[in-house]
Amino acid sequence: MTPTGLSTGGSTTAKRTVLVSGAGISGLASAYWLHRPGCAVTVVEKAGAPRDGGYPIDVRGTATEVVRRMGILPHLRDAHIDSRRCTFLDADGREVASLSPRAVAGGVEGQDLEVRRGDLAAILYARVRDDVAFLFGDSVDTLDQSGQGVDVTFRSGRRRTFDLVVGADGTHSRTRESVFGPEEQFHRCLGYCFALFTMPNTPGLSREVMVWNAPGRAAALYAVGDKDELHALLAFHRPQPPVEVLRSPGAQRELVATVFAGAGWEVPGMVDAMGDADDLFFDTAGQIRMPRWSSGRVALVGDAAYAPSFLTGQGTSLALVGAYMLADALATHRDHTAAFAAYENGVRPFVALNQALVGDGAATLLPLTARALEQRDTRLRSLVTLPAATARPAHSALVLPDFTPVR
Ligand SMILES: Cc1cc2nc3c(=O)[nH]c(=O)nc-3n(C[C@H](O)[C@H](O)[C@H](O)COP(=O)(O)OP(=O)(O)OC[C@H]3O[C@@H](n4cnc5c(N)ncnc54)[C@H](O)[C@@H]3O)c2cc1C
């Protein structure tokens, strides 16, 4: 065992070739853990480089232990945002409650981490880039499992055969679609849409989050540091996904502007800034729920298999834990079918508990009625005077095994 609790033995895995599709959080973490016992790992990413940007994300509970075992905890501590407060505002922009972000999300002061998504991706990439082959600007076109391995044709025209393929290509996973079928079967729509973008810090916020609400609508501004830029979120209730706008940024901007017309506080400025933003990310809030996460020699990890939605704040933690557990199962079992079954048995209860947190997130960020909003505000005011919240049990509901050598 290495000091990380990891075996680097493994005669069988030494010969395994694994293709990971997606260089996001779950893909980079999978690459790291699969390489450690000796797999030859190739990562294919459709973007030209590890993708930057995105709202700050949380690493909590069991996932903190994964990053500690990867040796990147000190880097993440350096990158930790350490927001000072989260202030909730009513429809007229008056303060309802101002409290520690940990009190709202159930985090643990001094243990949980909040980092820019791009910082985490860069730290993970730096950890694996010398050990793993990367194919940027390419993606899988076809997967054929009829032979002894998985025959892969890439968009670029390359052809390769791998022992195993790991689909780590996010909520709208193409690997999932080609192996398991269309997304509609597995996507559970939560009834909300959201738009994320960056905008100038004209309100002059510093290391804090401001959340404005009216029934069924939320606007949030997130100052990550003392920098000139803010992360903006506009979210709203929409029981049926607006399929017609999902492929058109122009239509997305129009829909958001219509929904937030006449809103108070900084919202008109946010809507204007969205019009100029070159990094608008619009989607429906949803979860991926699948009866199985593997088929033959292909397994899914992270959002591709079990996206919990941003309303839980647990997408990144599930991705990190899932990557560790998948690689551990493959290092433990010679037979990939047994390994995939062990991965699933080990992670599924943890995923279920964390996906169930979505109700708490929606009730806090997006109460649908005036009554629900009033109740939320009363709860928030009581949190100001109560002792600091404790961690959500779901965040730490999985105890990581030591990384096991091949038997
Ligand atoms: C640019 C970006 C911004 C994000 N911003 C937020 C945010 O603000 N808040 C939040 O809660 N979550 C955000 N997320 C999602 C969050 O990162 C995930 O929920 C979580 O980290 C789980 O990660 P994942 O690796 O499973 O999926 P993702 O982080 O989505 O990564 C998937 C990766 O696969 C790549 N990919 C997709 N399709 C293909 C394909 N066909 N072939 C090859 N590669 C492919 C993508 O480019 C991406 O790099 C963002 C994701 C991305 C990619």
For residue 98, the model assigns a pLDDT of 93
The model carries a pTM of 0.91
The DSSP 8-state label assigned to residue 391 in this structure reads P
Residue 258 has pLDDT above 70, yes or no: yes
- Split at pLDDT 50, 70, 90, the class of 7 is very low
Q: How far is the CA of 173 from the centre of ligand 1 (A)?
A: 10
Coil vs helix vs strand at 368:
coil
Residues 110 and 389 sit within 8 Å (Cβ to Cβ): no
Q: Which residue has the higher pLDDT, 68 or 4?
A: 68
Residue-wise pLDDT for 37-70, tens only, equals 999 999 999 999 998 877 789 999 999 999 999 9
Q: Where are the domains of the chain?
A: 13-81+116-186+287-358+392-396
Q: Please tell me the number of Cα atoms within 13 Å of 232 on its side-chain side.
A: 29
Residue nearest to atom 49 of ligand 1 (CA): 24
In the block, residue with structure tokens 């679609």: 177
Give the mean model confidence (pLDDT) for residues 298-314: 96
Give the mean model confidence (pLDDT) for residues 80-97: 92
For residue 2, the model assigns a pLDDT of 35
Q: How far, in Å, CA of 234 to CA of 128, rounded?
A: 35
Q: How far is the CA of 236 from the centre of ligand 1 (A)?
A: 22
Domain 13-81+116-186+287-358+392-396, CATH 3.50.50.60 — does that match? yes
Residue 406 has pLDDT above 60, yes or no: no
Mean pLDDT, the chain, whole residue set: 90
For residue 6, the model assigns a pLDDT of 35
Give the mean model confidence (pLDDT) for residues 280-303: 96
Residue-wise pLDDT for 154-195, tens only, equals 999 999 999 999 999 999 999 999 999 999 999 999 999 999
For residue 404, the model assigns a pLDDT of 61
Residue 373 has pLDDT above 80, yes or no: yes
Q: Which residue has the higher pLDDT, 120 or 404?
A: 120
For residue 386, the model assigns a pLDDT of 56
Where does ligand 1 bind, in terms of residues with CB under 6 Å? Answer: 21-27, 44-47, 51, 53-55, 57, 117, 139, 168-170, 174, 196, 302-304, 310, 315-316, 319
Question: Which pair of structure tokens corresponds to residue 191?
Answer: 């009834």
For residue 219, the cross-strand partners are: 212, 234
Residue-wise pLDDT for 89-102, tens only, equals 999 999 999 988 77
What number of other Cβ atoms are within 10 A of residue 154's Cβ? 16
For residue 394, the model assigns a pLDDT of 87
Q: How far is the CA of 377 from the centre of ligand 1 (A)?
A: 32
For residue 107, the model assigns a pLDDT of 64
Coil vs helix vs strand at 30:
helix
